[in-house]
Homo-oligomer: A and B are copies of this chain.
Amino acid sequence: MESSFAIIAEPNRRTILSLLASSECSVGEIEHQLRMSQTSVSKHLRVLRDAGFVEVRVEAQRRVYRLRPEPLMEVDAWLTPFRRFWTAHVDALERHLNQMDLPPNKGKKR
């Protein structure tokens, strides 16, 4: 029931996801590569799993985690209405922003 956005608000979880984007990993590998405590890794993976970001495969004593794309696709989809603010308008937008950000003579407080 937690929004995908809330899930990826956590920096450690984003790091884990980025790592899993390279390749699937066991808990121990994540723990070691990211220098996080095992407890923390397991808990974050639990959250990621419940939210559908990852899935597990049991392999001997190891649990190998792998990325699932759906929740991130949802985030990607949410961005759609905003893309018109930069896609294909980049140059025009930049000109516009520069014009707003650097009023040459206004002497603003800030």
| Residues on A facing B (Cβ under 8 Å) | 3, 5-6, 8-9, 11, 14, 17-18, 21, 55, 67-69, 72-73, 75-76, 78-79, 81-83, 85-86, 93, 97, 100
B residues near A85, Cβ cutoff 8 Å:
21, 67, 69, 72
| 18 residue pairs from A and B, CB less than 8 Å apart | A3-B11, A5-B5, A5-B8, A8-B9, A14-B78, A17-B82, A18-B81, A21-B85, A67-B85, A68-B97, A69-B86, A72-B79, A72-B82, A72-B85, A73-B86, A75-B75, A75-B79, A76-B83
* Tally of this chain's copies: 2
CB proximity of A24 to chain B, nearest CB, Å: 11
Complex Cα gap A100–B72 (Å):
19
Nearest B residue (CB) for A7: B9
B residues near A79, Cβ cutoff 8 Å:
72, 75-76, 79
B residues near A81, Cβ cutoff 8 Å:
18, 21
B residues near A9, Cβ cutoff 8 Å:
3, 5-6, 8-9
